[in-house]
Structure 1
């Protein structure tokens, strides 16, 4: 016996929240994928080019224009499944899609899936695929592509591994049906198969998955509203409209529904320097600037040449500790570092204005139902005397801790600088190593290369969607107690039964100190005043579908 699950049912069961991870990457990096076709020639036409379709009214979206998106730096790869790096998803989710996505209330809804049924015992999910969905190479998407893509994702992604460990079988009885049979109830099924902004379970053509084998995909082909055109590394990356794109519905609905490619082209321009990005948008060279400098916010918010928008959600500011290192595997040393931190001082130095930071002991953002203060007495202690006592109890012998950070993201370097100075006050030596984000992502995969690195996470709607709480993220928090608590969390379908387990896990996290958590941060974006609907979908990814230029 099966029953069709409705959006209302799902929201009742899960609380209607969505998962998105930001600023994370733990997979190895290889040469970026390239497209099989010849790149279209680069254009230099301004957004309001004469070829744009006239709008019926000032507020009516119209086709046309080039969106020049200035970002910190190139992604390490365009293979969304291969890395947790957020910028790969930000770019890639314009080209690739998943079985599920999120509506405007952050409830999961079908995307490449057409519908799905759940058996009465909750162990069998039958997913019907949409028919007539073309890949960018003209081939129709079928269950063969979904099967190959998800099996690959299940080997690469922490969330994917968790799902596949619970699968008894995955079969495709016909071209448009996938049947997932679970060994036990899995409360995160739809969410796991939705976009997340980090190592998303996107669908590739089966032959491309086979060609990639254990490496990266070699052809950038998906089903999304934009397709790959050209990539000149460290200069620009071009996406162009996919004219044969088939949207799911005729109205936008959060990250699903109608995804309109109004723009002729999205051109991502690598501009590592913040000042250059700001000067460029003020002079009309760019149309969208992400990760804008905090100190210029007061002036820019009143500048008529641009419009700005604060991020819709917060991020977790953290410095990950390598638990495989012979030095930082010492729990007392990690506790000493945690005890000395003055988190407010760190956040003021890294974020500047109070609009951009907040102190919170919860390891799940306050906007989620998982927020708790459990173990929070260890947060923001600012207790040098206690820290020195803990250091004396450790096995620390004056070794230098290698601390990787970057200036690619606002506040990362300043956070590491001030935190390392505070730690230095109790006698712990650090070597602050500054590098671009792509290099940091590559190096952190090797446990022999570092002791700490600066990172951050965005909104997750379940702790078991976060790679760091799964123990799969660089740093490798895999204690027996944590592993047991993870298993308990995944075995309970009801939130009221899972929440106390999560509170215990957070308490143990503060005791074991797998990273130095300093609080929440957020940023803002600067836009061309004529760019419409480009600030609506920024929680899970930076979605430019449905964005358009006013005449």
Structure 2
């Protein structure tokens, strides 16, 4: 039997347990596994999703997209527009500060937007329509347009590559947009721990205790970004099976992409939650073609490759059969604002026989085609295998160069001849956040900009894009988007290869997970099952 003193001690220990569990829960790092290794830390110079994922922890945005696809103020208090729609006045909300302690000012915003506007497809178009971008005091800035532009807020709230993140003017002004910044200083909810970083392996963050979130609840990328864990680890695991096992055993908390082969087992595990994000959060396989180098500077060769892309075979071969939409032939994704089937008859029933006929018509003489195959990507490796098989069967002479995505990404953005590391074809995947807007779509929005690896420039597309970007009426914008859908398919600028839902997965004990299509780390905390 316990003495009175022993009983009081036991009761005190029992009361301390919840407090201890709470402290241990907060101290335990939140560990999430990403698809490929992180090498480039600059979200403006890099077109990679992994860099975007990293940047959302460290940096902040002026405008953010919520779960309904609507744009809301984030770093901004709000904005006003003139009657003619040509002058936009913005003001920063109070309490914004960079991780080095300096306040965020309008000068930082203007410098960041100018750098982004020289790199991003939508940013370039917005800057081309801008007469002046100036500061108004320390917390205000004014955007004066030289001509109508229908998507100012859409541009500032662009959710994916390249996102207009805000960084100090001293960094943004001193670094060309295609060159990596040397210093990572953001104003977001987490601080990057560079001294602990293991490039390509692990990236570490701590909670920014000085961050002032918005008062509204978190909603998509919008609302209050409340960091509820003290430390975060972003991890790369090349072994796909190990990713699934680590999640199921509780060694990691969240997988950016759950291995498709493991989904049935995960669905039967009461400790695992599978993402249900759809619409813009869905993904699209596609093929990045180098339009500058032979043989794909010939549109017939591009159309021949387009005929190799059997969406049923690709989605089945990559394991996304039940999660896929093989019937979707819309450049701007099915289930989104600008979905269109105009011009898609050419790719509804792809045929290897048609591919072979197009190769003959193009005068293809068995020239070498360099295909860079990402071996470490859970999404791109299986797609690459199906693509390789079908291109070989069509008659392409492939030089397959397998490597990790980080190495491929560095070669991909350089324009070199084949004998100096150049390339012809790269299997890629993009989200609806990138593909659903014609001005950021990889097969439309980069037309004649010279600002992307694949280098297409279709004269007939240019005036339609100009009309789309100036138009403010939603119905007329949809009509113009349909024309762009047709042109992109006809010219095979960026052949699409199948839309699918790539679910994330996380431990059920997590609370506040924002199911948005890519990792959103704020608002997450641990609780019970």
CA, structure 1 residues 76+466, in 2 after alignment: closer, same or farther (shift >3 Å)?
farther
| Alpha-carbon shift at residue 110 of structure 1 (Å) | 0.8
Partner Cα distance (1:357, 1:496) in 2: 25
Q: Tell me the equivalent position of 1:328.
A: 296
CA, structure 1 residues 250+510, in 2 after alignment: closer, same or farther (shift >3 Å)?
closer
- 3-state SS of paired residue (2:432): coil
- In structure 2, stretches of 5+ residues that fail to align are 1-17
Alignment of 1:469-480 (within 5 A): 469-471=444-446, 472-480=451-459
| Alpha-carbon shift at residue 476 of structure 1 (Å) | 1.7
Partner Cα distance (2:127, 2:437) in 1: 18
| Alpha-carbon shift at residue 341 of structure 1 (Å) | 3.6
Match of 1:253 among 204, 219, 225: 219
8 A Cα contact 1:71 1:272, kept in partner = no
Matched, 1:546 2:516: no
After TM superposition, the score normalised by the length of structure 2 is 0.89
Aligned length: 495
| Alpha-carbon shift at residue 181 of structure 1 (Å) | 0.2
Matched, 1:221 2:185: yes
CA, structure 1 residues 399+129, in 2 after alignment: closer, same or farther (shift >3 Å)?
same
Matched, 1:290 2:260: no
Q: Tell me the equivalent position of 2:468.
A: 489
Match of 1:199 among 159, 162, 166: 162
CA, structure 1 residues 141+407, in 2 after alignment: closer, same or farther (shift >3 Å)?
same
8 A Cα contact 2:375 2:403, kept in partner = yes
CA, structure 1 residues 502+251, in 2 after alignment: closer, same or farther (shift >3 Å)?
closer
| Alpha-carbon shift at residue 340 of structure 1 (Å) | 4.3
Match of 2:76 among 88, 106, 113: 113
Matched, 1:236 2:202: yes
Runs of 4+ in 1 over 6 A off after TM superposition: none
Q: Tell me the equivalent position of 1:383.
A: 351
- In structure 1, stretches of 5+ residues that fail to align are 1-47, 55-61
Name the stretch that deviates more: 151-160 or 306-315: 306-315
- 3-state SS of paired residue (1:168): strand
- 3-state SS of paired residue (2:323): helix
8 A Cα contact 2:461 2:487, kept in partner = yes
| Alpha-carbon shift at residue 537 of structure 1 (Å) | 4.0
Q: Tell me the equivalent position of 1:466.
A: 441
Provide Cα deviations, 1:297-323, integer angstroms capped at 9, x if missing partner.
Answer: 111111234332244331111011111
CA, structure 1 residues 136+206, in 2 after alignment: closer, same or farther (shift >3 Å)?
same
8 A Cα contact 1:99 1:110, kept in partner = yes
Partner Cα distance (1:427, 1:253) in 2: 49
Partner Cα distance (1:346, 1:409) in 2: 16
Q: RMSD of the alignment, in Å?
A: 2.1
Match of 1:345 among 307, 313, 325: 313
After TM superposition, the score normalised by the length of structure 1 is 0.85
- 3-state SS of paired residue (2:205): strand
Matched, 1:124 2:53: no
Alignment of 1:355-370 (within 5 A): 355-370=323-338
| Alpha-carbon shift at residue 522 of structure 1 (Å) | 2.0
8 A Cα contact 1:49 1:65, kept in partner = no
- 3-state SS of paired residue (1:347): helix
